[in-house]
Structure 1
Amino acid sequence: MEFSIGCNGRGAQHIPGKVVSVDEQFRLIKSTGVFDHFDRMPQPGLEREYIDAANKYDLPIRTGLWSYTAGRDEAVLEKNLRLCKEAGAECHNIMLYTRHAQGHVVTDQEVVDFYLHAYALGEKIGIVIGFEVHIYMWTEDFRRVTRVADMVRSHGVPFNFVLDHSHVLLKVDNLEEQDVSGIRADVEKGLCIIDPYEPGNVLDDWIAQNMTVWLQIRPVSPNGPRNQWQLNPSDTYGRACQYPFFKPRPGEWHSPWHAYRVEPCKEVVRRVLRQHRDQPNSPLRWITTDMIDMPDYGGGCKYSLLEHNVAIAEWFRQTWEDIKAEKTSGIPAEARSR
């Protein structure tokens, strides 16, 4: 099955940080000619503007996300699902914070309970829900993902996964980032393998489970440079969650750029696509490009977020055609598109 390819609304701008109206975001994304949908949940107070812009530019809102705290936001979840459905969305990405409303690290069972609650609401309202691997969320400890997925599936429902591989790749060869996740000791012992080129790595495990409903594409570099233009005094922000897809022009970025650092991202995308090609029951339906403007990403940078999102979308479309063709031609997709 083919995909719907969307652009994150935060990436619908040329100069990160420059305010762009909702109407202009939709206009810019539509004008590129490479996207099928707009990726962002209508923001509070601007709901009508999003819906009107989607209709005006014939660019549907098919995906969007929100962050939730277990034990506090169950009612907010239902409100958001209904809002997304009204806006025409097909899938809602749930990012569940590491901490419960009571202050403790959310347990596996609490994650499962939140998922089952969300899944039941989604079934009733008519929208697919998914859980994303992401920093600041319970999934930042990658060891928990398969464990929770198995617990969910034991209830007879699928575990819908939103794969943002950038949040894994940024921790490769980065001890500080591994410490944030609490996985450093297991990585060093080979019990948690995060290098996508090593057998038994978590990304291959997740892909093989055939549970990815939504793939987000944002390059990062293993042990890449932090966002020097968004570091704050407490050193909380400016994490290395975004690496330019192509070489920035002079003055557009704070660090040296090397093409080889983008390859791990491309390789993971190829593996996801091969899995999708070879699995008739693949649930993958939505693809989004996610070069965005937040402090841990492209905030403060000078390169055009939209140009990079367009380049990713064009590369993805060509790569998917090459992945389909390689089965009969014998020519690897890597040799066709770079």
Structure 2
Amino acid sequence: MSAAARTLPPIGCNGRGAQASSLAAAVSLVEPPIEAQFSLVREAGVFDFFDRLPLPDQVDAYLRCIERFGLPVHTASWFYALGRDEPLLAEKLRLASAIGAATHNIMLYWHDASGRPITDDEVVDFYLRAYDQGMALGVEPAFELHVNMWSEDPRRIAPVAQAVQRRGIPFHFTLDYSHAIFKIGNPRELAICGLTQDVADGRAVLDPFQRGNFVDQWLEMGIVRWLQVRSVAPNGPRNLWSINDPGNSVAAVPVHSIFPYAAGEPGRGILYPFAEPAAGEWHSDWQPEALACTREVVRKVLDHHRAHADSPLRWITTEMINLPDYAHNARFSLIGQNAAIAGFVRDTWAASAPGC
């Protein structure tokens, strides 16, 4: 077993989660300055790096913060629509390279710019384009499991990965299993991408405790490059404190969405507090048992990494973020929730060490 596989990968915090929110200052779409985000991540004391892609006019600020706070940027994400954002890919890869990021996480929308659902072959082609362009800059691509993206249907991931691998190219996968866990037991969410019957018949297994689940499949394929950890509950509550306003554009929500966002509806339920919220900090009841699936995915990924010398796992990030489908308008400490998850990851790794 190699030293790399015996070492916990560095843990980063998504910049969208760097808010010192509270009962007096709810989680906001208006974010602190970049310097404040870096500072909050450093002050938390449990993170090794900062995870975010700068805007073009922020590169110098990022470089100053990287040096000042001792937090490198290893990873950075963006979202793309086919037929519109091919030139944007090159720009974002250059920005990632400029701040020293080694992996660019790519969220590719379910629909192209015209509203047509994209095919697996088109996903493969975009990955190969990103690989060629990115590796020339020292930035590898990783494709994410994510709602509103081609991968919202988890059955598509293995065929796409295998098609890339047949070209002799490694497929790097970003595992954010919150985007699967929250669908468990939720009829509407299962129906959106046609999972209802396959889940009922056991052909698609979302529950990480059940045999044949997707997490085990992807780990066995050796594709999990980046673990993103956001706590969610199976069939958990929607974000009752964030009501959809179609007049306000929101990051990662496309013009053509697989989910029927409607005015006046709450956000999707893709976040559940990891640390118990105090009275008034959260809109719904909180039960620790609801975190079991999130905890199990972390354990599975870390155990696999420790046991396999060829583990591709390179990065871990916490993903308690401020957007409407997640924590918008919550009144707990967003950076505190991220820090609690990072602490759990470290404790889980330590507890599974030989001799413990």
Both structures adopt the same fold (TM-score exceeding 0.5): yes
Query: What is the CA–CA distance in structure 2 between the aligned matches of 1:221 and 1:97, rounded to whole Å?
Result: 24
Indicate the residue corresponding to 1:81 in structure 2: 93
Q: Match of 2:148?
A: 136
Stretch moving more, 122-131 or 17-26: 17-26
Contact 1:4 1:287 (C-alpha < 8 Å) held by counterparts? yes
Q: What is the CA distance between 1:235 and its match in structure 2?
A: 5.5
- TM-score (norm. length: structure 2): 0.89
Amino acid at match of 2:165: R
Provide the C-alpha distance between the structure 2 equivalents of 1:237 and 1:26, rounded to a whole number of angstroms: 30
Paired letter, 1:286 = W
1:127-276 to 2 correspondence within 5 Å? 127-232=139-244, 234=263, 238-276=267-305
Distance in 2 (alpha carbons) for counterparts of 1:76 and 1:4: 28
1:202 is displaced (CA, Å) by 1.4
5 Å-filtered alignment, 1:25-174, equals 25-174=37-186
Letter in 1 for 2:316: I
CA displacement at 1:93 relative to structure 2: 0.1
Query: Does structure 2 retain, via aligned residues, the 8 Å contact 1:228–1:254?
Result: yes
Q: Is the 8 A contact 1:210 1:275 kept in 2?
A: no
Structure 2: 5+ residue stretches without partners: 22-26, 245-261
SS of 2:204's equivalent? coil
* Aligned partners of 2:44 and 2:336 also within 8 Å: no
User: Structure 2 CA distance, aligned partners of 1:283 and 1:110?
Assistant: 25
1:154 and 1:236 mapped to 2: Cα distance? 43
Distance between the aligned counterparts of 1:236 and 1:144, measured in 2?
29
Equivalent position amino acid for 2:306 in 1: R
SS at match of 1:46: helix
Letter in 2 for 1:8: N
Alpha-carbon displacement from aligned partner over 1:120-172 (angstroms, at most 9, x marks no partner): 11221111210000000000011101011111111011110000010010000
> Are 2:319 and 1:290 aligned?
yes
Tell me if the contact between 2:20 and 2:40 (Cα under 8 Å) persists in the aligned partners.
Answer: no
- Give deviations 1:26-55, integer Å, cap 9, x for gaps: 111111221110001013433322222222
Counterpart secondary structure, 2:241:
coil
Count of residue pairs brought into register by the alignment: 327
2:13 equivalent to 1:7: yes
Tell me which residue corresponds to 1:324. 353
Q: Deviations over 1:65-84 (max 9, x none)?
A: 00011222122111111111
C-alpha RMSD of the superposition: 1.3
Q: Bigger shift: 82-91 or 251-260?
A: 82-91
- Specify the alignment match of 1:333 in structure 2: none
Question: Contact 2:16/2:31 (CA < 8 Å) preserved in 1?
Answer: no
- In structure 2, the CA distance between the partners of 1:208 and 1:235, relative to structure 1 (3 Å rule), is farther
Superposed displacement of residue 59, structure 1: 1.0
Flag structure 1 segments of 5+ consecutive residues without an equivalent.
330-338
Identical columns (%): 45
- Give runs of aligned pairs for residues 298-337 of structure 1, distance below 5 A: 298-325=327-354, 328-329=355-356
1:192, 1:33 → 2: CA distance?
Answer: 39
In the alignment, the residues of structure 1 paired with residue 211 and residue 236 of structure 2 have an alpha-carbon distance, to the nearest angstrom, of 22
- Alpha-carbon distance in 2 for matches of 1:205, 1:311: 28
